[in-house]
């Protein structure tokens, strides 16, 4: 088993919670893991990314090589494009379509979507809306995790267990809402891609 | 043992706790901050109530750590690379005094300047001070090197530097804990002259430090952390320092076909390097940082064999290493399948919504509107983002505390108004002495202290300037009470705040305007914590 993925977003969107859930699942499976994060200045509303690597063999580098990530998971559409050189030719781009317009000249969202659609294997959907419909908007990250699940390579049951553990301290209600959002996004991507 | 998933910083912290430290000392600075925050979070839960309070700056931190070592106990001191400049006085002299209890000086460098003003390589400092240096290449090794480092420090009676870089600090990996050692008992140095660096003693200690160098090199030659890994293809030999070997293994899909010297303990093991040099036709030097070893190998005169690295362009001259630049240097580069579409715009960091600094910059610009080309000398912190759009309100960011002293120098040169903008934590770190200079000379400066009651940029650590003491400090230094103001930088108070500032800009002496409002992030965090406790 080997997964090289980039998680991308804007500082403050909480992309690290996505990798924390994947990490829980991976550790239970006894996999090796490396995950490079961004701390410090860029966290203040700037572009942030995380390199997440899983393997059943020891992993050497904390960073992924260009052209070798099998998955880019982005919680913001323009940010999904920033790390495209890391994506392998047959990799998947899974992104939220809801923009975070915290800069002066945010590009035309239509052009951003067109650029995303240039990547043959992509999943583009409004994760904020899906999360709101099935729970609360705060579960947007879990919706993204659900949409990326078929491309991560870990069993769904393991990821659901990890979501359960991640929110255990917050009570049954919070766990249930997150699982509902996760399953709805998982179902959506099945319909969109057949995966 | 169970696997923990730890940041490099957290592995260092756990390693230090398990190695029996009695204290951790430091000042927050990316990428080193999470070491002490981890000790604060887990130390007590693990039954280890060690010293873990932030120090006022890196110099006080190192001196406090040296004091703990003086008392025979183990101390970890942490800082970012530029923090070592602040601590350099103690650092250089601690090499001359030597230690009693083990002393590890953890310095986190930031090549590529992700969150820093420069990318200086702290290995130069270890060489300068002639002390051993350890450079872990994995999170597990960072954990292991804490115990090893303390034992080394006590064996050679010297402080030991542990140098890490951003990628290791801020990357998580699985780590297995080892044995948990108890703290050392209190035990003062038997040699009372050891720490008295009067010239007579200092000369003796310095001679002893120099005499000890061959023994330190000998330890490096046989260290488990300096590995010579033979390879069949001897057309090239690779010298890889610190984490560089990870990238090498990544691009070679395991072990390199060429002989590799993976170097993680210094002083430089000359014998191992000579072996690589003699066995291989050419040498490629891969250093995560500046070309320290490469420069030594190349020397001033043409070397006997071709030496490749950052100096000849095989690797980029600046910035951190990556699997891509290492792959390119070995002719194993890959072409990406996709490029970044032109539609992607830059997204630089910015002040948070509701940040008090935004209100400060609003009234500051309002007050300065009547001057032609006014300049504002500023400092290191979140408020440095005031240099960017939409504020464009400050004109400098050099080193901790330089706002006040540069404003004074500019004023001495005839600049008016001479304005400094500095945060509360930066003020207590290194601004107080500069303000004392201003007061002593009655300089014509106006100083804005942005008091948000925390060290915000690094994630909200407690600072020495907390609890509203900044005004008392200023008065104590001799700022006149009628020229010391505490204001609330709320945007709706901009007009009256600008009036206060205009009056003080007209005053030809030292004025201090404290803009006091809690950091929005810190406030939310404190509310959450209060709710949890209720």
Query: Are B202 and B145 a contacting pair, CB within 8 Å?
Result: no
Instruction: Please tell me the distance from the alpha carbon of residue A31 to that of residue B100, in angstroms, as a whole number.
Output: 42
Contact check, Cβ <8 Å, A65/B250: yes
Query: What confidence tens digit (pLDDT) does each residue in A112-128 have?
Result: 999 999 999 999 999 99
Q: Pick the residue from chain B with its C-alpha nearest to A91.
A: B337
Residue with tokens 């992993």: A59
Contact check, Cβ <8 Å, B349/A66: no
Q: How far is CA A46 from CA A10, A18, A41, B534, in A?
A: 6, 18, 8, 34
Contact check, Cβ <8 Å, A62/B174: no
Residue B99 has pLDDT above 90, yes or no: yes
Give the residue from A21, A27, A36, A57 with the most B CB atoms within 10 Å of its CB, the best one to mutate: A36
Contacts of B174 in chain A (CB under 8 A): 27, 32-33
**Residue B111: φ, ψ to 5°:** -60, 145
Interface of B with A in 290-329 (CB under 8 A): 322-324, 327
Contact check, Cβ <8 Å, B338/A111: no
Q: Please report the pLDDT score of residue A39 as a whole number.
A: 81
Contacts of A165 in chain B (CB under 8 A): none
Nearest residue to A74 via CA among A164, A20, A13: A13
Any CB–CB contact under 8 A between B60 and chain A? no
Q: Please report the pLDDT score of residue A45 as a whole number.
A: 86
Nearest residue to A43 via CA among A80, A9, A86: A9
Query: Are B313 and A6 a contacting pair, CB within 8 Å?
Result: no
Instruction: Say what percent of chain A tops pLDDT 70.
Output: 99
Give the residue from A33, A37, A39, A51 with the most B CB atoms within 10 Å of its CB, the best one to mutate: A39
Instruction: Please tell me the distance from the alpha carbon of residue A93 to that of residue A78, in angstroms, as a whole number.
Output: 12
Cβ-Cβ contacts under 8 Å between A and B: the total is: 154
Rounded to the nearest angstrom, the gap between the alpha carbon of residue B96 and the centroid of all alpha carbons in its chain is 23
pLDDT band, very low/low/confident/very high, at B459 (cuts 50, 70, 90): confident
pTM: 0.96
Residue with tokens 């509360």: B424
Long-range contacts of B85-88 (CB under 8 A, 24+ apart): B85/B120, B85/B399, B86/B27, B86/B57, B86/B58, B86/B59, B86/B400, B86/B429, B86/B430, B87/B57, B87/B58, B87/B59, B87/B61, B87/B62, B88/B125
Please give the mean pLDDT across all residues of chain A.
94
Nearest residue to B115 via CA among A48, A102, A19: A48
Give the residue from B2, B349, B531 with the most A CB atoms within 10 Å of its CB, the best one to mutate: B349
DSSP B429: I
Q: Please report the pLDDT score of residue B245 as a whole number.
A: 98
Contacts of A106 in chain B (CB under 8 A): 345
Q: Please report the pLDDT score of residue B1 as a whole number.
A: 59
Output the 3-class SS for A75-139: CCHHHHHHCHHHEEEEEEEEEECCCCCCCCCCCCHHHHHHHHHCCCCEEEECHHHHHHHHCCHHH
Instruction: Please tell me the distance from the alpha carbon of residue B224 to that of residue B452, in angstroms, as a whole number.
Output: 47
> How large is the average pLDDT for residues B457-464?
86
Contacts of B452 in chain A (CB under 8 A): none
Helix (H, G, I), strand (E, B) or coil at B284: strand
Contacts of B382 in chain A (CB under 8 A): 44
Contacts of A78 in chain B (CB under 8 A): 343-345, 347
Any CB–CB contact under 8 A between B336 and chain A? yes
Question: Shortest Cα distance from A133 to chain B (angstroms)?
Answer: 26
Of A11, A34, A81, the CB nearest to B171: A34
Please give the mean pLDDT across all residues of chain B.
96
Query: Are B114 and B30 a contacting pair, CB within 8 Å?
Result: yes
Count the neighbouring beta carbons within 10 Å of the beta carbon of residue B198.
8
Structure-block tokens of residue B403: 């706002």
Strands A47-55 and A69-74, bridge-based pairing: unpaired
Structure-block tokens of residue B323: 């699997």
Does B31 sit behind a cis peptide bond, omega within 30 degrees of 0 on the bond before it? yes
Structure-block tokens of residue B165: 């870089």
Strands B23-26 and B75-80, bridge-based pairing: parallel
pLDDT band, very low/low/confident/very high, at B334 (cuts 50, 70, 90): confident
Q: Please report the pLDDT score of residue B468 as a whole number.
A: 79
Instruction: Please tell me the distance from the alpha carbon of residue A88 to that of residue B269, in angstroms, as a whole number.
Output: 41
Instruction: Please tell me the distance from the alpha carbon of residue A9 to that of residue A101, in angstroms, as a whole number.
Output: 12
Q: Please report the pLDDT score of residue B389 as a whole number.
A: 87
Of B168, B334, B343, the CB nearest to A67: B334
Query: What confidence tens digit (pLDDT) does each residue in B57-91 have?
Result: 999 999 999 999 999 999 999 999 999 999 999 99
Instruction: Please tell me the distance from the alpha carbon of residue B294 to that of residue B283, in angstroms, as a whole number.
Output: 10
Nearest residue to B350 via CA among A47, A17, A13: A47
pLDDT band, very low/low/confident/very high, at A141 (cuts 50, 70, 90): very high
Query: What confidence tens digit (pLDDT) does each residue in B377-406 have?
Result: 999 999 999 999 889 999 999 999 999 999
Contacts of A85 in chain B (CB under 8 A): 336, 338-340
pLDDT band, very low/low/confident/very high, at B532 (cuts 50, 70, 90): confident
Q: Please report the pLDDT score of residue B2 as a whole number.
A: 72
Instruction: Please tell me the distance from the alpha carbon of residue A167 to that of residue B494, in angstroms, as a whole number.
Output: 43
The HSE-up count of residue A119 (CA atoms within 13 Å, CB side) is 32
> How large is the average pLDDT for residues B260-265?
98
Any CB–CB contact under 8 A between B350 and chain A? yes
Long-range contacts of A132-139 (CB under 8 A, 24+ apart): A133/A184, A134/A177, A134/A180, A134/A181, A134/A184, A135/A177, A135/A178, A135/A180, A135/A181, A136/A177, A139/A177, A139/A178, A139/A181, A139/A182
Contacts of B323 in chain A (CB under 8 A): 61, 63-65
Contacts of B5 in chain A (CB under 8 A): 23, 27, 33
Of B7, B173, B390, the CB nearest to A33: B173
Query: Are B61 and B25 a contacting pair, CB within 8 Å?
Result: yes
Query: Are B169 and B31 a contacting pair, CB within 8 Å?
Result: yes
pLDDT band, very low/low/confident/very high, at A107 (cuts 50, 70, 90): very high
């Amino acid at each position: 088993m080997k997964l090289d993925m980039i998680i991308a977003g804007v500082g403050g969107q909480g992309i690290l919670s996505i990798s924390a859930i994947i990490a829980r699942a991976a550790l239970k499976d006894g996999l090796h893991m490396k995950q490079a994060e961004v701390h410090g200045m860029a966290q203040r509303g700037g572009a942030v990314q995380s390199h997440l690597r899983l393997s059943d063999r020891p992993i050497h580098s904390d960073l992924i090589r260009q052209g070798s990530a099998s998955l880019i998971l982005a919680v913001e559409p323009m940010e999904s494009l920033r790390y495209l050189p890391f994506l392998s030719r047959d990799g998947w781009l899974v992104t939220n379509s809801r923009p975070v317009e915290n800069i002066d000249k945010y590009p035309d969202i239509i052009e951003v979507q067109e650029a995303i659609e240039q990547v043959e294997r992509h999943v583009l959907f409004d994760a904020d809306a899906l999360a709101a419909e099935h729970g609360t908007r705060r579960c947007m990250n879990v919706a993204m995790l659900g949409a990326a699940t078929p491309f991560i390579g870990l069993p769904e049951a393991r990821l659901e267990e990890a979501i359960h553990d991640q929110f255990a301290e917050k009570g049954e209600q919070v766990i249930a809402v997150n699982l509902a959002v996760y399953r709805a996004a998982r179902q959506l991507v099945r319909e969109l891609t057949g995966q | 043992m169970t696997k923990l998933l730890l940041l490099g910083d957290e592995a260092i912290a756990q390693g230090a706790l398990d190695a029996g430290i009695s204290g951790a000392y430091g000042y927050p600075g990316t990428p080193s901050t999470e070491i002490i925050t981890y000790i604060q979070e887990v130390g007590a839960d693990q039954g280890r109530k060690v010293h873990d309070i932030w120090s006022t700056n890196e110099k006080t931190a190192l001196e406090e750590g040296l004091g703990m070592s003086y008392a025979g106990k183990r101390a970890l001191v942490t800082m970012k690379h530029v923090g070592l400049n602040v601590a350099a006085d103690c650092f250089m002299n601690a090499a001359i005094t030597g230690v009693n209890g083990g002393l590890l000086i953890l310095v986190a460098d930031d090549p590529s300047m992700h969150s820093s003003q420069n990318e200086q390589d702290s290995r130069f400092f270890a060489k300068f001070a002639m002390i051993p240096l350890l450079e872990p290449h994995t999170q597990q090794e960072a954990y292991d090197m804490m115990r090893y480092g303390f034992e080394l420090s006590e064996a050679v009676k010297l402080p030991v530097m542990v140098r890490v870089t951003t990628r290791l600090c801020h990357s998580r990996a699985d780590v297995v804990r080892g044995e948990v050692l108890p703290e050392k008992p209190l035990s003062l140095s038997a040699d009372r002259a050891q720490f008295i660096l009067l010239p007579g003693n200092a000369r003796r200690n310095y001679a002893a430090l120099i005499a000890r160098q061959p023994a330190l090199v000998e330890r490096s030659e046989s260290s488990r952390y300096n590995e010579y890994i033979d390879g069949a293809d001897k057309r090239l030999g690779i010298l890889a320092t610190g984490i560089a070997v990870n990238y090498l293994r990544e691009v070679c899909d395991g072990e390199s076909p060429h002989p590799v010297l993976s170097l993680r303990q210094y002083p430089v093991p000359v014998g191992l390097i000579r072996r690589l040099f003699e066995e291989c036709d050419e040498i490629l030097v891969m250093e995560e940082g500046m070309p320290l070893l490469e420069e030594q190998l190349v020397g001033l005169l043409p070397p006997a064999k071709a030496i490749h690295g950052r100096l000849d362009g095989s690797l980029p001259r600046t910035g951190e290493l990556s699997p891509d630049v290492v792959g390119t240097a070995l002719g194993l580069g890959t072409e990406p399948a996709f490029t970044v579409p032109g539609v992607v715009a830059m997204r630089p960091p910015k002040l948070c919504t509701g940040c008090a600094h935004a209100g400060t910059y609003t009234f500051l610009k309002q007050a300065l509107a009547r001057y032609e080309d006014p300049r504002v000398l500023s400092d290191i912190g979140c408020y440095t983002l005031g240099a960017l759009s939409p504020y464009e309100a400050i004109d400098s960011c050099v080193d901790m505390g330089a706002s006040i002293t540069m404003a004074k120098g500019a004023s001495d040169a005839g600049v008016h108004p001479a304005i400094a903008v500095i945060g509360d934590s930066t003020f207590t770190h290194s601004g107080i002495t500069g303000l004392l200079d201003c007061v002593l000379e009655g300089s014509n400066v106006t100083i804005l202290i942005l008091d948000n009651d925390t060290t915000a940029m690094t994630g909200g650590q407690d600072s020495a300037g907390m609890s509203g003491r900044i005004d008392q400090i200023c008065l104590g230094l001799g700022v006149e009470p009628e020229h010391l103001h505490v204001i609330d930088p709320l945007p709706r108070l901009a007009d009256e705040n600008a009036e206060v500032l205009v009056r003080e800009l007209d005053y030809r002496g030292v004025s201090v305007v404290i803009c006091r409002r809690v950091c929005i992030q810190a406030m939310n965090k404190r509310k959450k914590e209060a709710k949890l406790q209720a």
